[in-house]
Amino acid sequence: MQVISEGIYSISPKMGMTPLVSLAALRTFVEVARFRSFKDAAESLGVTSGAVSQQIKIVERRLDVTLFERSSKDVRLTEHGLRLMSAIHLPFEQIRDAVEDFHNRKPRRNVVRLIARQAFASHWLVPRIDSFSRQHPDIEVRIDTSDGSGMRREPFDIAVRYGNEYQEGFDALKLSPSKLIVVASPQLLQRGLSIREPADCLQFPLLHDRDRMNWPTWLRSSGLREVLSASKKGPSFANDSLLMAAAAASQGLALVRDIHAESFLLNGQLKVAVAGSIDALHSYYLITPLRITQRPHVLALRDWLLEELSKPRSYEAETSVVEPVECLSD
């Protein structure tokens, strides 16, 4: 078997060079392995999911192996798939790097592409990124946001991702656990209703994250199982940004990640309504493709992020209650 520019060929005395797998099919395999999704690979390649599936079937048929284990949630590499991926992914990465180098060489810039969740980018990163730019005027940071599978599709040098699921070929560094705190506007807390214990939160409208049931879990961990049904009432929002905007508008109490709320707390739009915090189930991770982890400009931003994220966050509460101890699901 021999690899030439168009793909992988088999050489025999009788048949000569017989094509086994084209480079296009191999690139499709690499994209599916990278994203663990036929749909995401199709979007990255600009083709249909059906076309991706057909290419994978061709590779599997030509090599006479099964490359992926398919499920309703994602696809995972088999032993044969891992072997093939480890052998061919680096050349494709090198091709991508070479093309990017030619594209960026006039003028040559040290560009770092960072992708993060919208709430993290808006409320933590943007207020601080100017300090990095002052320290490293030769490095250009390009910030994009994505809250779903788009984070896997978008090209990036560093991703700040919530949760510990990542693909082969990436370095993932776990950050300190996210804390969930109860916040409200100063105006709401001054309306005469005091919060002396967790049950007092039910005097106020409770604002919910659409995808998480944090309030029932928080009250349960505080020993208030009998009021769980009441805690489920109230408007729900798609993310922490909307939750904090609603809380700042005095619409109720919100249970949000402290890292997202810090800018609201510092400028006085929100206050911590109940002392103490609870660890969320997942932490933030810094994700970097293995092929670029040692690039100086990537290391500079990565080290700066780690330093900033390690700094303690302090906030004062209007009252003090017993701190719940059970972790919240997310």
Domain assignment of residue 204, yes or no: yes
pLDDT tens for 242-260 read: 999 999 999 999 999 988 9
> Mean per-residue pLDDT for 31-50?
86
Domain membership of residue 201 as a residue range: 178-281
Which range, of 169-173, 240-244, 269-273, averages the lowest pLDDT? 169-173
Indicate the residue among 17, 52, 87 that finishes a domain: 87
State the pLDDT confidence band at 232, using cuts at 50, 70 and 90. low
Assess if residue 258 is contained within a domain: yes
Beta bridge partners of 116: 145, 160
Question: Which residue shows structure tokens 């949760």?
Answer: 163
- Region of poorest pLDDT, from 78-92, 141-155, 259-273: 141-155
Instruction: Specify if 301 maps to a domain.
Output: no
Residue 153 lies in a domain: no
- pTM (two decimals): 0.63
Tell whether 245 is covered by a domain: yes
Domain count, the chain: 2
The answer to whether position 18 is within a domain reads yes
For residue 180, pLDDT over 90 is answered with no
Q: What is the pLDDT of residue 227?
A: 58
Residue 28 domain-assigned (yes or no): yes
Q: Is residue 114 in some structural domain?
A: no
120-124, 219-223, 250-254, 284-288: the lowest-pLDDT one: 219-223
CA distance 205 to 250: 10
d(CA 226, CA 313): 33
Task: Assign residue 217 the CATH number of its domain.
Answer: 3.40.190.10
- For every residue of the chain, which 3-state class applies, written as one string? CEEECCEEEEEECCCEEEEEEEHHHHHHHHHHHHHCCHHHHHHHHCCCHHHHHHHHHHHHHHHCCCCEEECCCCEEECHHHHHHHHHHHHHHHHHHHHHHHHHHECCECEEEEEEECHHHHHHHHCCCHHHHHHHCCCEEEEEEECCCCHHHHCCCCEEEEECCCCCCCEEEEEEEEEEEEEEECHHHHCCCCCCCCHHHHHHCCEEEECCCCHHHHHHHHCCCHHHHHHHCCCCEECCHHHHHHHHHCCCCEEEEEHHHHHHHHHCCCCEECCCCCEEEEEEEEEEEEHHHCCCHHHHHHHHHHHHHHHCCCCCCECCCCCCCCCCECC
Q: Is the pLDDT of residue 240 over 90?
A: no
Last residue of a domain, one of 87, 102, 123: 87
- Indicate which CATH number applies to the domain containing 19: 1.10.10.10
Calculate the average pLDDT of the chain.
79
